[in-house]
Structure 1
Amino acid sequence: MKFSNGYWMTREGYEVLSPYEVHDVRVNGDSITVYAAHRHLEHRGNTLNEPLMTMEFSSPQKDVIRAKFYHHKGRKRGTPDSFALKAHGNASVAIDNNETFVSLTSGDTTVTITKAHPVAITYSHTGRILTGSGSRQTAFVRAQDGKHHFREQLNLAVGETVYGLGERFSAFVKNGQTVDIWNEDGGTASEQAYKNVPFYVTNRGYGVFVNHPELVSFEVASEKVSKNQFSVAGEQLEYYIIGGDSLKDVLGGYTSLTGKPSLPPAWTFGLWLTTSFTTNYDEATVNSFIDGMADRDLPLAVFHFDCFWMKEYQWCDFEWDERVFPDPQGMLQRLKAKGLKICVWINPYIAQRSPLFDEGMERGYLLKRPDGSVWQWDLWQYGMGIVDFTNPDACRWFGDKLRALVDMGVDSFKTDFGERIPTDVVYFDGSDPQQMHNYYTQLYNKVVFEVLEEKLGVGEAALFARSATAGGQQFPVHWGGDCEATFESMAESLRGGLSLGLSGFGFWSHDIGGFEQSATPDLYKRWVAFGLLSSHSRLHGSTSYRVPWLFDEEAVDVLRRFTKLKLSLMPYLFGQAAQASRLGLPMMRAMVLEFPGDRTADYLDRQYMLGDSLLVAPIFNEDGRSSYYLPQGRWTHFLTGESVPGGVWRDETYDYFNLPLYARENSIIPVGASDDRPEYEYAEGVAFHVFALQDGAYASVAIPDLRGADKLRATASHSGGEIAFEVRDEATGDSAAVGWQVVLRGIRQVTGVAGGTFEPSGQGVVIRPERGASKLIIKLQAE
């Protein structure tokens, strides 16, 4: 929200009260409280009829500074008044209170408040200034109409770029934008977003989390072009500065605070196929698609039933439409006998025609209007009400409907909607409807996720969710929502995914081929390559099916190539997924996250790193032209084997079976022995592809089991023309003889191998260890 009128003036109707002079400092063990006047106190009389600003600083965990500002502290806030955080109490801190400043240090991150006027608040990490605020920046904004706000303006340095704030489809770098944190069903082509997160990071290596679930308005280098401004309604403001040695550390700190992404089960990384939305489907149609995929050697992992598995006008009643599916339980068992997992569509709305509506109304399970009547409208579904997830009995009631479906054979739920949450309602627990609007989706997805954990076991739960807010990363997977079948929409989808990844979410997907309209065969084939090189991969549409043979026969071959490629990469991908879950990192990483010192990477939003070692640059035009950037180092094309130097832009043309897919130097990418399913023993018969291992370099990779625990670890080190390669069991430390082999790529000619044999291949040099060997010494030709 904007309060200024240019540089000098304030907008009519507002009074801006900023801290100017420190009046008193109190050290309270592990926190500090600063009282600041809004003017210079020339004499004691100035203390009369004048407000103070109360500023509290503490640390909930290492390298995180909590800043909380009050005007009137006793003014009651509604609930939820903050997000549910994982860190409770205060971390160990060091406080320095002297004549000129007071500071609080947590780990290597410090906040310093000067005592001389005007007040300055500075946040730093290892002595490096991150950002700061002070006089004319931090402010209580008093409004004539009584709708007061609290505002902060944090400094942005020259060249500083801002990212995150949820899944945003506008420009990837948020500088110059106005962003309202308010969940809405706006598709992927507008400034609205399904997943709004009041957290951002910058290329200076820090993050800011505004701990307010209600509307937070950001003016990112817009109202004040050298500031990132955010404001909330009311008389207090709480935010967290998260420091770290890198952006990866910052994301780790943020997700330690709000929750790590849960690790989705391995089967979710396979190919998903859906009925699409308004298309006609019954068991025969579904089987025609599933059998058609099998007949064409297109490995399918999940089949999803969209809305019309239930009767029209009755969403949600959680009952199969018997006119179309007379034997749903038998059908599900027949599908599961084909090796498939099953997902079904749900939303948190109950249409009036659903038999559950009367039940929910009578029991008080639906949101109410202030007069006590059920809140209803006709958008989306006739007379629909909304489940009140603040009512524990309503949660159990809703959950029981899902439990019955799991017992029938359902493995996952697509938790659609959750954004159209009104504010003229009354909640069971008295929650403030403004503060519940964004937070509602957290309760919704949590209920569904926990049902799956209860019924299937921890580690087996997975959603396909559209809406989210801060902390929603705990309930994966999320997808990008309603995109169009255009190259422009494909690109905006990627921007949204990269922004979400820099907002703490580990796993993300999108509708391959676009949701609205129908893709051309050209677009479909290009989107297939992008989709299968994403965290999760789903074929889905609105009014038309998305099976490849309906586009052209070449589309079948393209889908087969990239599906099998992804499945063969599961030892690498699932290892990266486990790392994402442990560390709070996205699988699909913006280039700025992996290459923070490369200023070109700051603005790249049409390419990404898939994990820490693979660079992907999807193609966004019908000519097959690709313009992409390789950072410094040696890069090896994963599909063609071409090895090229980085630090340059490259312009090339690709057919449908190829795209820029490069492996980073000094990396080991394990390739599995199977390409027909996502779940298999990744260690058995694995091939360790070693890419451009430079002299003096060391590389390591872990092979996970199906629970995400490290099972094997392979290491490689290059010194003096020799590469030492070793594979060990992570649990026992013993040698691991599992039929593994090594493929050297982008490395000069091999002259001999101690502990194995070697031979050239189209991909590089293949090295096979002797039986029982766990270590190889590979001799290279002298340069």
Structure 2
Amino acid sequence: MKFTSGMWCLQEGVRIDWMSNVERLRVEQETVNLLLNKFQRHRGDTLNSPTITAKVTSPQEGIIGVKLVHWAGQVDNGPHYDIENSTGHALIQQDKTVNTLNYNSGSLKLDINAASNELGFVFRSPDNKKLTGHSFRSIGYVGDQRSEKHKYEDGIYAERQGYMLVELDLGVGEKVYGLGERFGPLVKNGQTVDIWNEDGGTSSELAYKNIPFYMSSKGYGVFVNHPGKVSLEVQSERTTRVNISVPGEEVEYFVVYGETPKDVLRRYTAMTGRPGLVPSWSYNLWLTTSFTTQYDEQTVTGFLDGFKERDIPLGVFHFDCFWMKSYQWCDFDFDEEMFPDAGGYMKRLKERGLKISVWINPYVGQASPLFEEGKKNGYFIKHTDGSVWQWDFWQAGMAVVDFTNPAACAWYSSHLERLMEMGVDSFKTDFAERIPTKGIKYHNGADPERMHNYYALLYNRIVYETLNNRVGHNQGLLFARSTAPGGQKYPVHWGGDCESTFEAMAESLRGGLSLMLSGYIFWASDIGGFEGTPPPALYKRWVQFGLLSSHSRLHGSSSFRVPWIYGEDCSAVLRDCVKRKILLTPYILQEALRGQQDGAPIMRPLFLEFPDDLNTYPIDTQYMFGSNLLVAPVFSEEGEVTFYVPNVEGAGNGKWVSWFDHTKFYEAGRWYTETHDFDTMPILVRPGSVTLMNPALKAPEDDALHGIQVLVNGTLNAETTLEIVNPSQTGEILKKVLISSSEDGKTIKCEGHSVEIVAINQAN
């Protein structure tokens, strides 16, 4: 939120009390406590003005947190994000002669200037370079009389809406990324961002997945540990700062240091939760009924037969909303008129080797048989007078399940278990953004404003845990639209309602890459776009892109997404793309396991992989698929695409190579413009890389070892360890394979398991 009007003035009705002085300072073990106040001329200035207490801590090595509190007497009903804490890594040095304090957490330093009226915080890297900090007038308490709270007739007791305001410095050329799944430019500089979940589609400033964590090109990240609305002005108010404001009396933020962007993500996910893993079958192609289309068994069976006749591998079939009777979402019962033999139908789909997914949401329409049961037992969010909160926006008279009530969670989970008994393997956890905040109460008394974003965590957690309790750890997964910090523990997430245009395909990629910089490692989009019917060229280009996402689902609104509807050439493109993804399964499983361990996403912006190449930092039209494969989707009907080839540290004169033509090389550090037919696209293999493949696979869950290959591009500078992951348990490693070049660089050596080596060695 903006409070100023230029550099010198405040907006009408706004008052900011800036902290300029450290009144006193106290060190207790690994914690520093400070009392901050305004500019002090004499003792009289201690009267009639606010103070802010600051507490400096370190939850983990390389992370320093600052908690700022104006009034400490507020009732704290939660909720709170989970933060993993440890001790023993903070070192505090105080120089009382010059009133400075150095707080060190591993490789991250915080210098605090406590000299009279010289308040300053400077976060520094190990080589003592400034990362960010608080300079003049950058910690303040805002009183805003433009609020409904303010009544002139109350005189000196008139209330103002309070905000905590922190402003963190940005350096020259510094770029900011992340903040959840945002569909605008990947670089967030110049943007105003509100961390507030909304159902806004993919073509606006609103977002389903708001994460108050941003990453800087300077080697650090900032996580604002606040579950309510967090407003950020990223160089959009002060051109030298990120301004962060939250309503209320306190705010806490953590600065996360990393020598590389990957290190920042590793530390951030260690603090907020490591990403969950998913079963190997989920990497198959998913086909859905689409939203408002026909779902009857004859139609669906015809589609499934069509895939089989065209030799297009298909792994998962999804039933969208209308598997339930209209107005009764959710009652968790198949519409008996459309599905007279739902159990038999599920069995017949299973006999085809398909996994089954069904759509759900956390709402119960008034016409649902479950509404009265939920009302009677107190399972819904209520008004403060005890009545059930309801509205007609989506489902007539719908109520919202109160997941702070353990009995409501058990009730909701029991219906999921009933569906799993029928054969359902996964749930699309849609919605959970339209969560009310005014005049309501939760079972556990949680603050409604703070619950708005947090609600998505509770919703996805209960569904994810219900699945894993049945099928085992890392064997369940969701297809979730909304989330909040920590939601990476409950994968997978998809990009929501996009239009059927090339522009929407590009904005979907931007959204996915932003989410990948926010602690998430899995992501998908609606292939072909959700709203509208894609022209054949767009369908084929989105298929190419969607099958090089971690998860791949054909889904639309009012039209089907089976390929032959758009032309048999679309079927050929889909078949080739699905089979390519399946043969890459060992590579995907390896990258996912590493991502679960260190937070590196499967789809990643170029700078995350090549931080030393400054040309990569603004690019948002291409990405790395894992560590080794560069992907540049085609966003034009003509097939023209312009892409950049990054410099690879330590690769010497090694060249990138086309996936499709191993005689076609690309120089690092150059831009290329090409025109591609629908049988190819820019997929480049990194120089000096070793990529696991298995062309013998018919499905991702097949035997990982039989038919395993490695694709080696160029001479290897060092021994490479490959991890062949167990497709039956994606958290386990079946074999470790060591790959190295001979001393003369002419042959490739392999140890640990017999693999076929496919060498692309331009030097020989």
| Cross-structure match for 1:28 | 28
Give, in whole Å, the separation in 1 of the partners of 2:501 and 2:47: 64
Secondary structure of the corresponding residue to residue 148 of structure 1:
strand
Counterpart mapping for 1:224-243 below 5 A: 224-243=238-257
Give, in whole Å, the separation in 2 of the partners of 1:407 and 1:714: 40
| Cross-structure match for 2:73 | 74
| Cross-structure match for 2:156 | none
| Cross-structure match for 1:193 | 207
| Cross-structure match for 2:692 | 670
| Cross-structure match for 2:670 | 648
| Cross-structure match for 2:656 | 635
Offset at residue 703 of structure 1 (A): 1.6
1:705 is aligned to 2:722: no
| Cross-structure match for 2:94 | 97
Contact 2:123–2:133 under 8 Å retained in 1: yes
Secondary structure of the corresponding residue to residue 428 of structure 1:
coil
Offset at residue 89 of structure 1 (A): 5.2
Offset at residue 720 of structure 1 (A): 4.7
1:428 is aligned to 2:449: no
Secondary structure of the corresponding residue to residue 266 of structure 2:
helix
Secondary structure of the corresponding residue to residue 206 of structure 2:
coil
Give, in whole Å, the separation in 2 of the partners of 1:378 and 1:143: 34
Offset at residue 701 of structure 1 (A): 2.3
Offset at residue 723 of structure 1 (A): 5.2
| Equivalent pairs, count | 737
Give, in whole Å, the separation in 2 of the partners of 1:724 and 1:45: 81
Give, in whole Å, the separation in 2 of the partners of 1:722 and 1:622: 43
Offset at residue 91 of structure 1 (A): 4.4
TM-score by length of 2: 0.95
Counterpart mapping for 1:333-344 below 5 A: 333-344=347-358
Offset at residue 49 of structure 1 (A): 3.2
Contact 1:716–1:724 under 8 Å retained in 2: no
Give, in whole Å, the separation in 2 of the partners of 1:51 and 1:485: 53
| Cross-structure match for 1:658 | 680
Offset at residue 228 of structure 1 (A): 0.6
Give, in whole Å, the separation in 2 of the partners of 1:385 and 1:311: 17
Contact 2:697–2:703 under 8 Å retained in 1: no
Secondary structure of the corresponding residue to residue 557 of structure 1:
helix
| Cross-structure match for 1:769 | none
| Cross-structure match for 2:652 | none
| Cross-structure match for 1:593 | 608
Contact 1:636–1:746 under 8 Å retained in 2: no
| Cross-structure match for 2:132 | 131
Counterpart mapping for 1:387-426 below 5 A: 387-424=401-438, 425-426=440-441
Aligned amino acid, residue 382 of structure 2? K
Aligned amino acid, residue 501 of structure 1? M
Offset at residue 458 of structure 1 (A): 1.0
Contact 2:69–2:249 under 8 Å retained in 1: yes
| Cross-structure match for 1:441 | 456
Name which of structure 1's ranges 366-375 and 246-255 shifts more when overlaid on structure 2: 366-375
Aligned amino acid, residue 594 of structure 2? Q
Offset at residue 718 of structure 1 (A): 3.7
Offset at residue 50 of structure 1 (A): 3.5
Give, in whole Å, the separation in 1 of the partners of 2:703 and 2:475: 17
Contact 2:740–2:750 under 8 Å retained in 1: no
Offset at residue 25 of structure 1 (A): 1.1
| Cross-structure match for 1:752 | none
Counterpart mapping for 1:314-329 below 5 A: 314-329=328-343
| Cross-structure match for 2:296 | 282
Offset at residue 726 of structure 1 (A): 4.3
Give, in whole Å, the separation in 2 of the partners of 1:697 and 1:649: 28
Offset at residue 327 of structure 1 (A): 1.3
| Cross-structure match for 2:395 | 381
Offset at residue 704 of structure 1 (A): 1.2
Counterpart mapping for 1:187-266 below 5 A: 187-266=201-280
Contact 2:53–2:70 under 8 Å retained in 1: yes
Secondary structure of the corresponding residue to residue 473 of structure 2:
coil
Deviations, residues 104-130 of structure 1 (Å, cap 9, x unaligned): 111111111112232110111212321
Give, in whole Å, the separation in 1 of the partners of 2:109 and 2:595: 27
Aligned amino acid, residue 736 of structure 1? H
Secondary structure of the corresponding residue to residue 508 of structure 1:
coil
Contact 1:568–1:673 under 8 Å retained in 2: yes
**Structure 1: 5+ residue stretches without partners:** 729-734, 750-783
Offset at residue 92 of structure 1 (A): 2.3
- Tell me which of 326, 335, 351 is aligned to 1:312: 326
Contact 1:68–1:239 under 8 Å retained in 2: yes
Offset at residue 241 of structure 1 (A): 0.5
Aligned amino acid, residue 703 of structure 1? I
- Tell me which of 77, 81, 86 is aligned to 1:83: 81
| Cross-structure match for 2:64 | 65
| Cross-structure match for 1:19 | 19
Offset at residue 746 of structure 1 (A): 3.7
Give, in whole Å, the separation in 1 of the partners of 2:258 and 2:118: 28
1:525 is aligned to 2:524: no
Give, in whole Å, the separation in 1 of the partners of 2:280 and 2:293: 29
Give, in whole Å, the separation in 2 of the partners of 1:207 and 1:311: 46
**Structure 2: 5+ residue stretches without partners:** 151-159, 649-654
Contact 1:414–1:465 under 8 Å retained in 2: yes
| Cross-structure match for 2:758 | 743
Aligned amino acid, residue 369 of structure 1? H
Give, in whole Å, the separation in 2 of the partners of 1:173 and 1:78: 35
Contact 1:205–1:246 under 8 Å retained in 2: yes
Secondary structure of the corresponding residue to residue 265 of structure 2:
helix
Secondary structure of the corresponding residue to residue 703 of structure 1:
strand
Contact 1:442–1:472 under 8 Å retained in 2: yes
Contact 1:186–1:194 under 8 Å retained in 2: yes
Offset at residue 697 of structure 1 (A): 4.4
1:619 is aligned to 2:605: no
Aligned amino acid, residue 681 of structure 2? L
Give, in whole Å, the separation in 1 of the partners of 2:436 and 2:45: 46
Name which of structure 1's ranges 479-488 and 632-641 shifts more when overlaid on structure 2: 632-641
TM-score by length of 1: 0.92
Give, in whole Å, the separation in 1 of the partners of 2:659 and 2:129: 39
| Cross-structure match for 1:159 | 173
Give, in whole Å, the separation in 2 of the partners of 1:143 and 1:644: 57
Give, in whole Å, the separation in 2 of the partners of 1:493 and 1:48: 53
Identity %: 47
Shift in alpha-carbon separation, 1:89–1:702, aligned structure 2, 3 A: closer
Secondary structure of the corresponding residue to residue 603 of structure 1:
coil
Offset at residue 10 of structure 1 (A): 1.6
Secondary structure of the corresponding residue to residue 500 of structure 2:
coil
Give, in whole Å, the separation in 2 of the partners of 1:12 and 1:378: 38
- Tell me which of 710, 717, 724 is aligned to 1:688: 710
Contact 1:716–1:723 under 8 Å retained in 2: no
Secondary structure of the corresponding residue to residue 702 of structure 1:
strand
Aligned amino acid, residue 131 of structure 1? T
Contact 1:38–1:53 under 8 Å retained in 2: no
Give, in whole Å, the separation in 2 of the partners of 1:747 and 1:671: 20
Give, in whole Å, the separation in 1 of the partners of 2:247 and 2:81: 16
Aligned amino acid, residue 660 of structure 1? P
Deviations, residues 170-202 of structure 1 (Å, cap 9, x unaligned): 111110010000000000011000000000001
Counterpart mapping for 1:541-620 below 5 A: 541-620=556-635
| Cross-structure match for 1:364 | 378
1:331 is aligned to 2:345: yes
Deviations, residues 711-741 of structure 1 (Å, cap 9, x unaligned): 223333346523564444xxxxxx434xx21
| Cross-structure match for 2:154 | none
Contact 2:742–2:749 under 8 Å retained in 1: no
| Cross-structure match for 2:284 | 270
| Cross-structure match for 1:140 | 141
